[in-house]
Amino acid sequence: MAKAKTKTAYVCSDCGSEYSKWQGQCADCNGWNTITEFRLPAATVAQVEFEGYGGKRSAVQKLDEINLADLPRITTDIEEFDRVLGGGIVPGSVVLIGGHPGAGKSTLLLQTLCHLATKLDALYVTGEESLQQVALRAKRLQLPTDRLKLLSETSVESICTTAQQHKPKLLVIDSIQVMHLADISSAPGSVSQVRESAAYLTRFAKQTDTAVFMVGHVTKDGSLAGPKVLEHMIDCSIMLEGTSDSRFRTLRGIKNRFGAVNELGVFAMMEMGLREVKNPSAIFLSRAEELAAGSLVMVVWEGTRPLLVEIQALVDQSQFGHPKRVTLGLDQNRLSMLLAVLHRHAGLHLGDQDVFVNVVGGVKVLETSADLALLLAVVSSFKDRPLPRDLIAFGEVGLSGEIRPVPSGQERLQEAVKHGFKRAIVPKANVPKNGVKGMEIVGISKLSEALAVL
Ligand code: TYD
Ligand code: MG
């Protein structure tokens, strides 16, 4: 047999797309001069075997013959974290935690691991901070430090060798961008190093049933460095988000092979580390005392629970030929579409107005149930008429001006009642038959009806 050739690939260092030939511009992310040659190591990662764990043989098995009994989830004792993971850590899974520097990734993992180490073996590998720095932080946060094992190392091969000796159930790699494999010549953090290091660690996780957490830093535009190269390998990808001027952090699932995606966990960064926020609606609702036009509370659905958030709109006479459409936390195209609906079906022309829309608290809303609240806020600002403080709204707006129902209407209304709201404008089909105690609910089926109710 002919000897296997070393494979050469051309990889975009920004997005990780792979090409068989060099080209000047990446067809995926449109970056110029980002494609570099990438020589796969002669001995590929796929050939590495990890001994000592009673090595798993891959034989064909029937689906119902596979033993599921030994797959209990490990709960982190942090409810918000468990929720995002889909109910706890799955042994042998690989979880990528992304976020901006200073978001609190190291803090979250150190807190989790220190507590979990009292019950099972855990190893925290730090490639960025010294052992003293990690120990100091753990001490300051008054975490139980007697059981957690620490290692300061950046070579993936030595990490796996050490882990094989200590057989931890949980392994944290902080961070994947500083890790390197000896076989690969490029610098740590480059696409090839990140990709092969992650592949090596993934293989380790699967063969030894160790749950591996990898910390990943995000690039300026907020995506994980080399996201495409990691996406298919890992089981869960979660993002810790939050701006440095706010102490709230949200943990969001982006991909999860073991649970619902788009779950949201909310934390607050305190002097004593990250504290989970059990009632997130309350924090996004701290509104100004004064009644202001353009502000309304909506109920969005985050994973498996409702969340009350305030939406604000500002409509102002445009100074230039091109009126601005700016959204924070919402999709801009959606806003343009809804403004067109408003024009066609409610006769409100905003073509000469700048429209700014903001979701308070830095929440990102990806759901169409925000449509109705958004339009009501826009109209309120345009007419300079404040909406009642105890009003909530949700519902999807269709292109012909119809108001469409959204899932889980009853739960959304109940969440609103819990927080003291007394009036609701919702799609007709979402009005519960028996009503909701303590709430006056108006069901509508057309946009014009909503404006009439106001
Ligand atoms: P860190 O976990 O180091 O962030 P990452 O690993 O994601 O880069 O968090 C660092 C930030 O958190 C830092 O800016 C200070 C803040 N912080 C607190 O406010 N309180 C604390 O108890 C800790 C440990 C950090
Ligand atoms: Mg860190």
Task: Look at the block and give the residue holding tokens 């010294």.
Answer: 130
Q: Exposed, middle or buried, 4 (CB in 10 Å: 0-12/13-18/19+)?
A: exposed
The binding-site residues of ligand 1, defined as CB within 6 angstroms of any ligand atom, are: 99, 101-107, 137, 141, 269, 271-273
| Tens-place pLDDT, residues 423-452 | 999 999 999 998 888 999 999 999 999 888
Mean pLDDT throughout 222-226? 56
| Tens-place pLDDT, residues 339-392 | 999 999 999 999 999 999 999 877 888 889 999 999 999 999 999 999 998 999
- pLDDT of 6 above 70: no
**Atom 6 of ligand 1, residue of closest alpha carbon:** 106
Beta bridge partners of 357: 313, 327
Q: In a mutational test of the pocket of ligand 1, which residue from 269, 271, 274, 275 has the highest number of ligand atoms less than 8 Å from its CB?
A: 269
H helices present in 191-331, as ranges? 191-208, 227-231, 280-284
| Tens-place pLDDT, residues 162-172 | 999 999 999 99
Which amino acid would we find at residue 263? Answer: E
H helices present in 27-130, as ranges? 79-85, 105-116
What domains can you pick out in the chain, each with its CATH number? 1-44 (no CATH), 72-278 (3.40.50.300), 283-453 (3.30.230.10)
CB 296 within 8 A of CB 387: yes
Ligand 2 centroid to 258 CA: how many Å?
A: 26
**DSSP state at residue 32:** B
Q: Characterise 222 by phi-psi region: left (phi > 0), alpha (psi -120 to 50), beta (else).
A: left
Measure the CA–CA gap between 53 and 208, rounded to whole angstroms. Answer: 6
Q: CA separation (Å) from 323 to 93, 293, 410?
A: 49, 20, 38
Other Cβ atoms within 10 Å of 8 Cβ, number: 11
Q: CA separation (Å) from 144 to 106, 111, 118, 147, 167?
A: 16, 9, 8, 7, 20
Ligand 1 centroid to 383 CA: how many Å?
A: 44
Whole-structure pTM value:
0.76
Those residues whose C-beta lies under 8 Å from the C-beta of residue 2, and which sit 6 or more positions away, are none
pLDDT value of residue 94 = 95
Ligand 1 atom closest to 174 (CA): 6
**Atom 14 of ligand 1, residue of closest alpha carbon:** 102
Of the listed ligands, the closest to the CA of 178 is: 2
Rg of the chain over Cα atoms, rounded to whole angstroms, equals 26
- Positions of E strands within 272-420: 273-276, 295-302, 305-317, 325-328, 353-359, 391-393, 396-397, 403-404
Of 354, 401, 222, 380, which Cα lies nearest the Cα of 298?
Answer: 380
Least trusted range by pLDDT, from 77-86, 123-132, 169-178, 180-189: 180-189
Those residues whose C-beta lies under 8 Å from the C-beta of residue 257, and which sit 6 or more positions away, are 93, 235, 236
Q: In a mutational test of the pocket of ligand 1, which residue from 106, 107, 110 has the highest number of ligand atoms less than 8 Å from its CB?
A: 107
